[in-house]
Structure 1
């Protein structure tokens, strides 16, 4: 057993899609994600890292969909680090001005995704946040170099210099994980956007994925000319989540919310290429 991780079952592949679930809301999101991954016909494992805070009743649907569940501890960060990255303090020092993070969003939990570098049973992994859908097979990403991520584009071209950590390609390696821990919790460390800011620091020469491998939902109304359903591989619901009720942007994002609801259920899903675009 790897320290900090406890897996159910053995891996069935050398490659894995990995997500992180830290509460019941993200377990709900992960159900739609896991189902969407399975519908692409991949042979890769689908792994759900989850903390002890998630009840088994919320994990059961993920297990039923064939996900490999791996319980993870939060990282052994210092009290000062934890205080600096507590929700109220972090959002006070670095408020979100473009959208709203839901009340169940706990910034400190985000760092637990770094544990995937401990999963050396896999040759390569693709991490996908639980608030996303995979619309087309993405197995080609297992051949991408470490570290690959898409730019954080959702408002203007000026965002291209920043990466978004909702989707990234990595190569598990315990030595890399140890180096991460040593840099993460340095004296006075403050990672403004938690794991995203840290990963861009740790991998300054990150490789760029196409925006269609991590299409952020705000592109729908901020940059509609960039939206192209047939090209989108992964749709990422950054900021507000499609299962929120009430949803503060339900009118603006109604077609995307309806798509997520189809994947979150047990019935058929739309043919993506037939969906109308934001300018229709």
Structure 2
């Protein structure tokens, strides 16, 4: 029995997101395979990196919904190519899989998702009777793939993207079985922090996956000379610490392998320089994320002596 986490990259931007996502999974010590579907729009340079990071890379064709009217309602015409996500059902070498969008970031081990059945997903905050298709458990099947394609051609999608299509196809998700409803912590929409701040504060340590929805993605931001993310509008970010964690992973695992190459996007990322790194700020951010994953450094920075010293210094102030 072979199980895998699967994502999709339709261009170099999302491929960089997918690479960070893969490293976030490895950081939390997943025991599952990690696979990525890519289209021809991904450059050779990024594809070479992907082949060395993922257990499997699958080249797929772009499926476009051609539904410009509905997509316009979302102000996101780029969502049309997300129909390409349906190819994940063709990866029948896996007995069960978890699809995750390339703009997600894993904070805690989520291997327990494989104990769930198809189609398990978390409610979408915008309309909780629908699930958000950024994270879902499914069973690869050529028959299901064919049914989805036929359904897409004949019925389309109410939002022009894969989420509308999948919610119509799995229309009984809301009422069929509560066990198919993933807790929100498995797919936390970054902007949701502002809609219910007390809940975010209370459940923050339980968050397993962050989903950077919207047109502005982590890779669209920049870094200052200290390696800190430059943020101009917090309303599009949610919690800056998660965005910083994404960039810390990118600068550690992806950036060193980039060279000015075939796309302007990759070249721009490759030219990022941190001339005056501030390890204390970066280390503190990573330490807090590790603490929340349950990975305490009891022999080092999280030792009793260090904590006692910190408490005493605060009391004296």
| TM-score (normalised: structure 2) | 0.70
Over 3 Å counting, the alpha-carbon distance change for 1:60 and 1:234 in structure 2 is same
Point out the structure with the larger helix share: 2
- Contact 1:135 1:232 survives alignment (8 Å): yes
SS state of the match for residue 50, structure 2? Answer: helix
SS state of the match for residue 43, structure 1? Answer: coil
Over 3 Å counting, the alpha-carbon distance change for 1:224 and 1:22 in structure 2 is same
Please point out which of 210, 234, 246 is paired with 1:260: 246
Please point out which of 63, 70, 76 is paired with 2:58: 70
1:179 equivalent in alignment to 2:147 = yes
SS state of the match for residue 252, structure 2? Answer: coil
- Contact 1:29 1:130 survives alignment (8 Å): yes
After TM superposition, give the deviation of residue 248 of structure 1 in Å: 7.8
Over 3 Å counting, the alpha-carbon distance change for 1:190 and 1:43 in structure 2 is closer
Q: Which has more radius of gyration?
A: 2
| TM-score (normalised: structure 1) | 0.79
Whole-Å separation in 2 of the counterparts to 1:194 and 1:249: 29
Q: How do 1:1-280 and structure 2 match up within 5 A? A: 14-75=2-63, 81-82=65-66, 84-85=67-68, 89-92=69-72, 94-96=73-75, 106-153=78-125, 159-186=127-154, 189-206=156-173, 207-227=180-200, 228-239=203-214, 240-245=216-221, 250-252=233-235, 253=237, 254-266=240-252, 269-272=286-289, 274=291
The match for 1:3 is none
User: What residue ranges of structure 2 are gaps of 5+ in the alignment?
Assistant: 174-179, 223-229, 254-282, 293-317
Whole-Å separation in 2 of the counterparts to 1:220 and 1:273: 21
Whole-Å separation in 2 of the counterparts to 1:190 and 1:169: 20
- Contact 1:259 1:270 survives alignment (8 Å): no
Over 3 Å counting, the alpha-carbon distance change for 1:191 and 1:270 in structure 2 is farther
SS state of the match for residue 70, structure 1? Answer: strand
- Contact 2:36 2:54 survives alignment (8 Å): no
Whole-Å separation in 2 of the counterparts to 1:273 and 1:68: 28
After TM superposition, give the deviation of residue 193 of structure 1 in Å: 4.5
User: What residue ranges of structure 1 are gaps of 5+ in the alignment?
Assistant: 1-12, 276-280
- Contact 2:89 2:144 survives alignment (8 Å): yes
Question: Higher relative CO (CA 8 A, sep ≥ 6), structure 1 or 2?
Answer: 1
Q: CA RMSD in A?
A: 2.3
Give the paired residue count.
242
Residues 121-173 of structure 1 show CA distances to partners (whole Å, capped at 9, x for unaligned) of 1010000000011111111111201001101126xxxx321210000000011
